[in-house]
Structure 1
């Protein structure tokens, strides 16, 4: 199973199938679970979407079909009652419970759309994740956490304003997330919650998976090194910081890493 994660770090970005990759990550925590039913569920979603979305040509029509299938027919929705439950970022548990975080639900929407050849991307909005359906000429934004509801321009503007309250400049830019960045976001949700609940070694395990799957993602190497240091594994922390130096060109970060390496000596 770990080999699947390593493979994710080696394949081209465009070769990553988001929901299949997210299942591979989740399976690391459920080694005895039969993946068959979960793959069949994803196939069933695609078949239903092909039927419901037959003839859907515009982004609005395709967005409506996605909502009809994933939210109405299969019951996927945001977990507002227990938002911080780690199960919400574990695709196996998301499928079991039909509840999840914005990023895990967005993975299901985008993957289903792409199986039909529809243009769809996970959209990084400060403090939230949405789905962009359609190409750049006439796209539609939907919110899988709210049952695939359409996000109108004024709604998006409100989200951006809420992300930058006070005197700081307003956030005005949102961007489609590359596939690996989406998976990192999924694991990051779990890692942050693990550390908040005092499970440092669980968080370290998740950051380690991030560095395997996205070896060029510098922040994961930094967090991995930090937790390895807390765990007393100085050699591992130094190795992680050295790996970070290999992937970042940021002069300030490189100076910070070099300083930390100098200070990080075996007891």
Structure 2
């Protein structure tokens, strides 16, 4: 009868809705497992002494947060091949200047790497894999690749995280170190030019601490912060949670990021995980965090348990 058919259809629709909810929960759980694995892999890559960290590998693993199927080994081999080709172009017993000139020619002229101008704020510019594919990127991702290739031919290089702009310092065995603006095509910068760059990009005066070398761990965290800022601009909460979780995994003392993650976890219904973050903040009482707000969120979470 029509009544029986209508009742059967209603039951089937209710069952379908329940299955949809279960599928959504399973997808969320699978995403959390994948994120945990990716963050653990990234943390492991950044453990240990700074000089032993493979920066290219870590930067590629950061890209894997958004591209779970990314084959990091393919791009590592690509970087190795570029390094070999660059090394083969050098004369025997090449001096510092010869090596640096060869690196600049190979990187900018032969391979065509350049700063992204048309779509600077696209996330692809923060993924080292896509920088290699597209030959363009942000100052920091281009600098990572530039340093990795320079290291392969015996150049001593370090990253310098100027406010608003990332550059490379090249240290010759003899003579003064040079700041190189990789985003600017390999242009060397005097300290005054670096100060002008900071003033124009960040609106502040250059301070001595801005010129200090940054660790490889700090470089990867800065890449993640770039991605986090873009996710916030796009109102991409799942993306923001991925980057925050990676930052906290690398640096458990990153209190502002942990607090932001607690809020986003609460907003997305991940109450138990939000409670983990609020408990940590209450226990450790980090500077710069308003514990009154943390306790308010903790009370909300307790009421909803």
| Shorter-chain TM-score range | 0.7 to 0.9
How far, CA to CA, are the matches of 1:7 and 1:140 in structure 2? 32
2:207 aligns with 172
1:260 aligns with 293
Deviation (angstroms), 1:27: 2.6
Structure 1 or 2: larger helix share? 2
How far, CA to CA, are the matches of 2:90 and 2:191 in structure 1? 24
- Residue deviations 1:71-124, cap 9 Å, x none? 222221111100011000011111111111111111111122223342111111
2:187 aligns with 149
Does 1:134 find its partner at 2:167? Answer: no
1:158 aligns with 196
How far, CA to CA, are the matches of 1:220 and 1:57 in structure 2? 45
Q: In the superposition, relative to structure 1, how do residues 244 and 106 fare at CA in structure 2: closer, same or farther (>3 Å)? A: farther
Unpaired segments ≥5 residues, structure 2:
1-36
How far, CA to CA, are the matches of 2:187 and 2:79 in structure 1? 21
TM-score of the two chains, using structure 1 as the length reference: 0.85
When the two chains are superposed, the root-mean-square deviation of aligned CA atoms in Å is: 2.6
- Residue deviations 1:163-217, cap 9 Å, x none? 564xxx7232222111111001111111110111111111111111121233343
Which secondary structure state, in structure 1, belongs to the residue aligned with residue 183 of structure 2? helix
TM-score of the two chains, using structure 2 as the length reference: 0.75
Q: In the superposition, relative to structure 1, how do residues 57 and 31 fare at CA in structure 2: closer, same or farther (>3 Å)? A: same
2:237 aligns with 200
Does 1:43 find its partner at 2:76? Answer: no
How far, CA to CA, are the matches of 1:77 and 1:241 in structure 2? 43
How far, CA to CA, are the matches of 1:48 and 1:247 in structure 2? 50
